[in-house]
Structure formats: structure tokens, C-alpha cells
């Protein structure tokens, strides 16, 4: 019997770890904002906020919004998203949502909904990378048998 070369095993483990790290990165980049936006759309309280500042580079500007929650407290948050095609001006009123249990978790409706597809895409690609990494770590060939067996 021939033994597998150690370099081949190391190569498979390297790619498995690389795929798992890629999956983790994509889950962080796409999964957190997607879960946050789903929670805001499902359980969020809709209010009108006021843009009190603009943050970001020359092209991509991110609004800093202040709003009054149902408890009467004033909260300020920086949007997770920036967009070069949508510009906000200080003093502009924007529709937004926040979680009543944690008013610090908030987002401008327009920006959150525009980024749904990219967050969903990053989360799906992360799932595929996760599956690939787990299959590679399994250290056995993956065989898909689609033939029908007669009993």
C-alpha cells in the first residue's frame, strides 16, 4: 500500500484553514449587518431622525444621525453604510428604525435596504466557503451518488 505524501495533507489542511478563515471574514462582513437589518425591519421602531454630521472620505459619505427614542432619550449613531450616490446634508430629516430594547442599534431605512443584496451575497458565499473548508478538513473524498438503487 502506498502512503499519502505529507505535503498533500499539508496542502489540503492549508486550503481548509484558508476557506474557514474566508468564511469567518464573510460572515462578519455580511452576516452581522444582514442580521441587524432583519432585526430592525422585523422588530424596529420607525422614527424620524436628523442628520447632525457627515463622516467619511471624499466619495463615500456616512451620515451621523440623532433621534429621540420612545423613552425620551436622545441617541446619536453613525450609519453602518456609506454611499457615494446618496448624499445627506446636515439638518436633513431621514426615516430610520431602531431597536426599542437597544436604541444604539439603529439604521437609516434607505441605506439599510439598499445593502440587503450585498449582505445576503456575502453571507451565502461565506456559507459555501465554510462547507468547502469543512469538507477539506474531513480528509476524505466527497462522493455524491445520484444513481437510483433498486431494492
pLDDT digits (tens, 9 = 90+) for 51-91: 999 887 777 888 999 999 998 999 999 988 877 778 888 99
Q: How many domains does the chain have?
A: 1
Write out the E strands in the chain.
Answer: 45-56, 61-68, 74-78, 93-98, 106-108
**Residue 119 counted as domain residue:** yes
Note the pLDDT of residue 57. 73
In terms of pLDDT, which residue wins out, 91 or 34? 91
pLDDT band with cut points at 50, 70 and 90 for residue 97: very high
Q: For residue 17, is it within any domain?
A: yes
Q: How far is CA 148 from CA 27, 141, 144, in A?
A: 37, 21, 12
More confident: 67 or 12: 67
* Domain contains 35: yes
- Among all chains, which residue has been given the C-alpha cell 486550503? 15
More confident residue, 148 or 125: 125
Residue at 126 is within a domain: yes
Contacts of residue 78, defined as CB under 8 A and 6 or more positions apart, other chains included, come to 55, 62, 63, 64, 65
Residue 72 lies in a domain: yes
Query: Which pLDDT belongs to residue 139?
Result: 64
Residue 145 lies in a domain: no
Residue 3 in domain: no
Q: Residue 2 domain-assigned?
A: no
Nearest CA to 106 out of 146, 67, 140, 148 is that of 67
Q: Which domain holds residue 64?
A: 8-138
93-110 mean pLDDT: 90
**Region of poorest pLDDT, from 97-106, 125-134, 136-145:** 136-145
Amino acid at each position: 500500500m502506498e502512503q499519502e505524501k505529507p505535503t498533500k495533507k499539508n496542502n489540503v489542511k492549508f486550503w481548509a484553514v484558508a476557506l474557514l478563515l474566508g468564511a469567518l471574514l464573510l460572515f462578519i462582513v455580511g452576516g452581522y449587518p444582514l442580521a441587524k437589518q432583519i432585526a430592525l425591519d422585523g422588530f424596529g421602531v420607525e422614527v424620524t431622525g436628523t442628520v447632525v454630521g457627515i463622516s467619511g472620505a471624499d466619495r463615500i459619505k456616512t451620515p451621523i444621525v440623532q433621534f429621540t427614542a420612545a423613552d425620551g432619550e436622545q441617541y446619536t449613531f453613525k450609519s453602518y453604510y456609506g454611499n457615494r450616490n446618496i448624499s445627506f446634508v446636515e439638518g436633513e430629516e431621514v426615516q430610520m428604525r431602531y431597536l426599542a430594547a437597544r436604541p444604539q442599534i439603529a439604521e437609516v431605512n434607505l441605506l439599510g435596504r439598499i445593502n440587503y443584496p450585498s449582505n445576503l451575497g456575502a453571507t451565502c458565499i461565506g456559507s459555501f466557503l465554510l462547507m468547502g473548508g469543512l469538507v477539506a478538513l474531513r480528509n476524505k473524498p466527497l462522493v455524491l451518488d445520484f444513481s437510483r438503487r433498486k431494492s
